Amino acid sequence: MVEETVLRPADFIAPLFVIDGQGAPEPVASMPGVSRLNISDLVKECRALHKLGVSAVALFPKLDAKLKDAEGTRALEEDGLILRAIRAVKKAVPSLVIMTDIALDPYTTHGHDGVLNAAGDEVENDRTVGILCRMAVLHARAGVDLVAPSDMMDGRVGAIRAALDEAGHQATGIMAYSAKFNSAYYGPFRDAVGSAQAAGTRLLSKATYQLDPANRRESLIEATLDVAEGADIVMVKPAGPYLDIIREVRDAVQTPLAAYQVSGEYAQIHAAAKLGWLDYARCRNESLLAIKRAGADLILTYFAKEMARELRK
């Protein structure tokens, strides 16, 4: 009766991985219970999530390595995998909110979120932003509800907002990865989308454009800049190791706040529980409760489906 923080199925956004073809689901070895799904199976999963009361899904493509190049050109393919997935899900479950990742890491051979300079040691900010704007317009045209730039380029939120408006997609929202840290917790995700394999390492550093984990004040600058540029939702990523940042951002902005419980957070709970060191269900629940208690309105989590099922019992 006096519980201050309560989890609901509608709090969750389910990240889902999509692959081309008609093959069986491909389990992600480093993420127990998570698989890459063909479009048909993706639609079935989205129907099931919607029925359980999950508010939204975030879609991530996993391309064949042969389709990748240094410029990530497949990101601008008119009938690419992610665009076909958006159209299929929106047709099947029109009231489910669809978000898509706006970044080049699933499409590049080097695994970075943007295009590199001639020396190959820096991401070119402005050239990348131009590509991301075109990418966002393609996604909006396919029917996505929110584009989610996860690249951490400077100025990309304002540029994407202007590009969407100019193309007639004023109703398409932006969920900005505003405080995205250069974290060691992303390894399993990079396995899932194949960016680690493309780059030849899951330990790829993105320190030149993602936030330094030591910097609290910088995260607030990034979040407030994104709001000023037109972000409808701002995000902190990762969630669990950055609960203080979630609270700081919550106090600093008036927009809805999302937090991403990333693949490494998910994987470590599974691994410790498998070894018998932690109570799986209690740790899962506590981790999510802490994220909401810190101030997140929405939580991207790979636990979304099982948590929604538990909460509806």
**How is 38-50 classified by DSSP, letter by letter?**
-HHHHHHHHHHHH
Length of the chain in residues, anyone? 313
2 domain-assigned = no
Asked, for residue 3, whether it belongs to a domain, the answer is no
Cβ within 8 Å of residue 253, ≥6 positions away? 223, 224, 227, 234
- Residue 196 has what pLDDT? 58
| Two tokens, residue 205 | 């550093």
CA 303 to chain centre: 14
Instruction: Give the SS3 label for residue 221.
Output: helix
Residue 218 CA: distances (Å) to CA of 32, 214, 229, 245: 34, 9, 17, 10
What does the alpha-carbon distance between residue 220 and residue 179 come to, in Å, rounded to a whole number? Answer: 8
Place of tokens 């489906």: 305
Q: Which long-range contacts (CB under 8 A, 24 or more apart) does 246-249 make?
A: 246/291, 246/294, 246/295, 246/296, 247/294, 247/295, 248/216, 248/219, 248/220, 249/178, 249/179, 249/219, 249/220, 249/223, 249/295
- Structure token digits, residue 155: 């100025």
Q: For residue 160, what are the CA distances in angstroms to 81, 149, 157, 209, 259?
A: 21, 9, 5, 18, 21
Q: Could you confirm whether 68 is annotated as catalytic?
A: no
Whether the CB-CB separation of 86 and 98 falls below 8 Å is answered with yes
Report, as an integer, the average pLDDT of 101-108: 96
Averaged pLDDT for residues 253-260? 98
What pLDDT shows up at residue 99? 98
- At residue 200, the pLDDT reads 57
Identified catalytic residue from 62, 68, 90, 180 = 180
Q: Residue 244 above 90 pLDDT?
A: yes
Instruction: Kindly report, residue by residue over 57-79, the tens digit of the pLDDT.
Output: 999 999 999 999 999 999 999 99
Tell me, yes or no, if 90 is annotated catalytic.
Answer: no
Identify the domain containing residue 158 by its residue range. 9-311
Q: Answer whether residue 302 is part of any domain.
A: yes
Rounded Cα distance between 161 and 150, Å, is 15
- Specify the DSSP class assigned to residue 116: B
Q: What is the pLDDT of residues 9-40, one digit of tens each?
A: 999 999 999 999 999 999 999 999 999 999 99
Query: Looking at residues 110-130, what average pLDDT do you find?
Result: 93
pLDDT score of 160? 98
Query: Is 195 part of a structural domain of the chain?
Result: yes
Res. 121: pLDDT tops 90? no
Parallel/antiparallel/unpaired status of strands 56-61 and 97-102: parallel
- Tell me the longest C-alpha to C-alpha distance in the chain: 61
In a domain, 1, yes or no: no
Per the structure, the count of domains in the chain is 1
In sequence order, what are the beta bridge partners of 117?
Answer: none
User: Is 190 within a domain?
Assistant: yes
Q: Does position 204 have pLDDT exceeding 90, yes or no? A: no
- Catalytic pick from 68, 90, 237, 292? 237
CA 156 to chain centre: 16
| Distances 202 to 113, 221, 229, 242 between C-alpha atoms, Å | 14, 29, 32, 21
CATH of the domain at 121: 3.20.20.70
Percent over 70 (pLDDT), the chain? 97
Confidence of residue 146 (pLDDT cuts 50, 70, 90): very high
In a domain, 143, yes or no: yes
Q: Strands 97-102, 35-37: parallel, antiparallel or unpaired by DSSP?
A: unpaired
